[in-house]
Structure 1
C-alpha cells in the first residue's frame, strides 16, 4: 500500500505571495511537503492535516489516531516514513498506517525534527542544541549549538539545515555538516513555529514555507453584555512563503517586503494663540537604505523645498508668519519598498578593523543630546557594561544586555536623561536609546538615533489605512570596515535576566521605517533661530497625523 497524493493545479500558483490558511486549524507547528502536498500538525487538536495549498481545503489524515498525535510539535517526511516529536520522545511511522514506533527518548522536550536519508536532526531548547542521530544505530552522532534562544523547528535540504526560532522571529541557514550559521533571515511575522521546503516539480525551484501560530486580540460583539463590545483573543495560525536574498559581500540577507504608503502631516492647532514671523518648519523625509527604497514622495497641503542635512533628505515648509487664528495642514506622502534585513557579522570579523576617522569621533562619540555622559552613574554603568571586553561587537552586545538587565519598558510623556533613567530603572524606547547611546559612546562605539515610526505589523491588512499609536526610535552603531548597523532599542528586552533574543541586533523587520538618521526628525525656526522646547514645543503648536497603507507584498528581491 502506498501513500496516495492528491491532484492539485500547477505548483506555479502556490509560489510567491499566497498565505495558506488551513480551514479549522488552531495551532500549526511542524509542516512538511510531499511533492506538492502540504502536511501540517495541529498540536492542540492532534490533527495531522493534508492541505491543498491553493484552496486551503483541509483533510484530517489521522482520524482514528488523534490522541496519539496530541502535543506533537515537529514533523518530517522521508520517502514513505513520517517522523515526529512529542514530549521528550521521537517517533516514526508509515504514512499509510500511522502506527507510532518509538525511536529515541531525550532527557528534555524534543521540539523540531528533520530527516535526510539516515541522519535524524532533533532540536531541544532546554539542551540548547540540535541533536543528530543515526537511524540505523539510534545513537547520537554529534550535537550542534542552537542558534537562537526560543523553541526551534527544522527542515533539511541536501547540504543545508534550516532552523526556525519562535522567539527570534528568525530562520537560520546552517551548514548541516559543521553546524555553522551561514546567514539568518528575519520572518515577516512573529512566532514562526514550523518550516518546510517546497521543490517545484517542473522548474526545480525551491521555496521555504514557514508556519506561524499565536493569539490575536479582537473586539468581540457580545449581545449579552452592556456595552456589547469587549476585548477577546482568538487563535491565529497560517503558513506563508519566506522569501530571501543573501548578499555575502555586504554580510546581509533581505527577506519579505511590502510596498507601503506613509503619510506624515501636521495640523496647525495651537493650545494658545501665537505669532511667529519668518517660519521654517523642517520635517525629515524617509531614508534610502539597503532595505528601504523610495518610489515616490509628494507634498500634502502645502509645497515644500528639500535640503540635505548630514546626508539626509529634509522637507522645508516656509511661512511668512504664523498668526493667531491661522490654520494649515502640511506634510508629505511617500511610497516605499521596505524589506526585512539581517546582518551576519561575527566578533572574529571585527578583530582587526581600521581606526575610527576624526569625523566619526567628533560627531558620534560626544554628548550632543543630553546624554549625561559626565555623570557618575552613567560613567560607572559604561564601565560595568563591558567589563574587560575589548572586541567591538562583543562590547556592543554586552552593553545591550546590560541595559536590558537594568531597565524595564514603560511609556512616559517626556524623555529623561540617562542618569535619571538608570536611577529609576524604567524607560521608554527613547530613553532606552539615550542610555545605549551614552554607554556606547563612552566605550568608543559611534552611535546615532534612527527611526520615528513603525508601520502597524499587520501585513494581511492591505489597502486599509493603519495608524500607529506611538512613535518609535532605535539606533545604529558603526563598525569600521562594515558601516552602520541597526539595533532595536527595547523590543528584544523580553524579561529580566535573559537570555535575550538577537532578532533585532543587526536586523530590522519590514515594518521599521527609517527616517532622518542621526538628525532631528522635526525642527522649527523663526527668523533664522531654532526654537527649543522651552521656547515653544511643536506639540503645543500642532497635531500630527500619521497614516500607513500596505499596498501589496513585494516579489522576492533579486
Structure 2
C-alpha cells in the first residue's frame, strides 16, 4: 500500500506511467477503477466506458440506456453499485443489471462530482461552493465542507482522505475526510483536470493517482475545398495521466510531475545600426537552482564563456575584444534541467506576527529601483485601497493581487509602460502587471522582486520535439520573513472578469517555468571597467536576435534522486 500522505513519498509507476487514451471518448469527467478495468463517463455522448488501461481497448457498457447518462460528470463505484451525477440529480444503478438508473436525491444546484465510502456519499457542487456529505440510508445531508477551489470539482475517497481536482485551479487537493481541512495540494501537469481515481496494482498493491483531462485542442486542418487550404480548427481531446507528487511537509511545499528539459538560449549578433564596441563583456544569466528546478548540465553554444558568481548567482560571461556591425556570431548556452510543479503550503495564520524584515532586504526590495512610479499619486492611492486595514502579510499580498486583477486586463504591447500609466490605462502585459504588483507590494512593506524568464510550451506529451516559446515571461517573488521567497504569477490567474480568481499560482509555479538567476539582470553588456553600457549606446534588442528553444526529454517522478524515464 502507498504510505500515508501526511509523510513524504513517491508514487510508483503502476502501468509504467502510461497515459490512457480511451477510444472514441470526447470529454471524460468521472472515472473509477474496479480491478484491472477503468470506468469512465463521457459527458458528451453519455457513454459509460469500460477501458483496459494497458491497451486502451474500450467498450460501451450502457449501450441501451446511454441517453440517461448524457451530461453526467461524477462517477463512483462501491461494491456492485455505480453512482453518478447529472445536472442536479444523483443516481445509482447496479453493475450486475442493465444499468437502469435510480434517483437517489435531487439538489438545488448541479452536482459535479461524487465519491462513496460505505454509507457516506460525498458530492461536489461548484454553485454552492461546498462539498456536501449525505447519508446513504437516510438520504439526508450530514454536514458540508468548504470547497477548496473555484472551478468545477470532482472527488474520490481514499481511506481517511478526500481527493479533489479542480478544472480552473489546475490543482488536486488532499483533504482530511473528517474535517475537510486541506492537508496539501499539488498542481497538475495539464490544464482542465476533470476526474480522478486511484489505481491499485493487483500484484504489488501499490497505488497510482490517475487524473482525467478534457479540453479543446487547436489544430491546423488541411481543407482541399478552401483557399488557402489550411484552417484553424478545434477538436475534443481527453485522456488520463498519472499524477506523481512528493509532499515535503517540513519545508512547506509539494512537488508534482517533473520533466527533464533541454533549454538553449542563444544570441545571434546582427546589429541594426553601425556599432564599434571595444573590450566588452556580454553577460547572460544561467538557470537557477531552486526547490523545483535542478541544473544537471550546462554547456556553451557557439563561443566559450567564463562562468562567474554574482550575488551567489551563476552568470555566463562572453568576452569580445572588438565588436563591429560587420561581424556575425552566435553565442549562448544549452542547459539540461529538471523542472517540477511546486505549490507552497501556507495558510493565512502563517502571515500573522512575522519576524522583522532583514535590513538588507529592506534597502533593496522596498525601494523604487526599477522605475516603479511609487511616488505617483494614483499608485500610492491604489496601495492604500488594495489592503485597507489588513495587517496579515499573506492576506495583504493576496488582496493586492486581486486588486490588480480587478483593474487590469491582459494585452501585449511593444514596450512596457510605468505602473502609473498601466494602471490608468487598465490594460497591461505580464511585465506591466508585474510593475503594478511590485509597486503596491513595496509601498505596503512587502519585499518583492522580479523573477523569470521563459516558459517552456506546455506540451509535456511531445518528447524530443524542439519547442519555441512565443514570448519571454516574468513573474514575482515576495518575501515571507521567517521562511523565504515565495513565487506568485503576474497575470495568468486573471482569467475571470471581476473574479473569483484561482490561486493555483499564488505561491505556486507550474512545471513549465524556467527560472533564471535571481536578483541580477538576466542579460547585460558591460565595458572593460565593469560599468553597464547605456541602452542609448548599445541596446541588446538592436544588436542581436535571441533564439530560445526547449526540448522535453523525459517525465520524472519527484523525490527520486536517480530519475528514470516514465513511458507514455
TM-score normalised by length of structure 1: 0.97
Indicate the SS of the match to 2:457: coil
- 1:471 counterpart residue number: 472
* 1:482 positional shift: 1.6
Superposed, which structure 2 residues align to 1:204-353 within 5 Å? 204-353=205-354
Give secondary structure in 1 for the equivalent of 2:361. helix
Cα distance between partner residues in 1 of 2:496 and 2:128: 20
Q: 2: CA distance between counterparts of 1:159 and 1:455? A: 37
| Residue 189 (structure 1) aligns with | 190
Q: How far did 1:123 drift? A: 0.4
1-structure distance, mates of 2:535, 2:109 = 56
The answer as to whether partners of 2:351 and 2:395 remain within 8 angstroms in 1 is: no
Matched residues in 2 for 1:47 and 1:63: separation? 8
How far apart, in 2, do the equivalents of 1:153 and 1:556 lie? 24
Helix, strand or coil at the partner of 2:194 = strand
State the alpha-carbon separation in 2 of the partners of residues 49 and 512 from structure 1.
36
- Which consecutive unaligned segments of at least 5 residues does structure 2 have? 1-11, 561-568
Residues 350 and 394, structure 2, Cα contact 8 Å, conserved in 1: no
Tell whether the 8 Å contact from 1:477 to 1:487 is kept in structure 2 after alignment.
Answer: yes
> Any idea what the Cα deviations from partners look like across 1:26-76, whole Å, max 9, x if unmatched?
000000001221110000000000011111111111111110110000100
Cα deviation digits, residues 135-187 of structure 1 (max 9, x gap): 00000000000000000000001100000000000000000100000000100
CA deviation digits over 1:279-300, x for unaligned, max 9?
1000010000001000000000
Pair 1:496–1:532, CA change in 2 (3 A) = farther
Q: Which residue of 2 aligns with 1:548?
A: 550
Give, in whole Å, the separation in 1 of the partners of 2:321 and 2:212.
56
Map of 1:87 onto structure 2: 87
Deviation at 1:14, TM superposition (A): 4.3
Aligned positions of 1:145-544 closer than 5 A: 145-528=146-529, 529-544=531-546
Inter-partner Cα distance in structure 2 for 1:324 and 1:186 = 47
CA offsets per residue over residues 461-498 of structure 1, 9 Å max, x none? 10000000100000100101121100000000012210
Distance 2:15 2:520 in 1: 41
Rounded to whole Å, the distance in 1 between the matches of 2:68 and 2:218 is: 31
**Would you say the 8 A contact 1:13–1:54 is kept in 2?**
no
- What's the CA shift for 1:236? 1.1
Distance 2:84 2:248 in 1: 34
> After TM superposition, where is structure 1 displaced by more than 6 Å over at least 4 residues in a row?
none
CA–CA distance in structure 2, aligned partners of residues 457 and 13 of structure 1: 22
CA contact (8 A) 1:16 1:241 kept: no
SS of 2:397's equivalent in the other structure is helix
The aligned length equals 548
Residue 142 of structure 1 corresponds to 143
Q: Deviations over 1:266-319 (max 9, x none)?
A: 000000121001110000100000010000000000011112222211110000
Q: Deviations over 1:426-445 (max 9, x none)?
A: 10001111110111011010
Q: Give the match's secondary structure for 2:228.
A: coil
In the alignment, what sits opposite 1:59? 59
Relative to the length of structure 2, the TM-score reads 0.95
Which residue is 1:96 aligned to?
96
Once the 2 structures are TM-superposed, how far is the Cα of residue 13 of structure 1 from its aligned partner?
7.7
SS at match of 1:395: helix
Unaligned runs of 5+ in 1: 1-11
Give the whole-Å Cα distance in 2 for the aligned partners of 1:325 and 1:544.
18
Is the 8 Å Cα contact of residues 17 and 555 (structure 1) preserved in structure 2?
no
Provide the C-alpha distance between the structure 2 equivalents of 1:237 and 1:291, rounded to a whole number of angstroms.
Answer: 28
Question: Would you say the 8 A contact 1:14–1:54 is kept in 2?
Answer: no
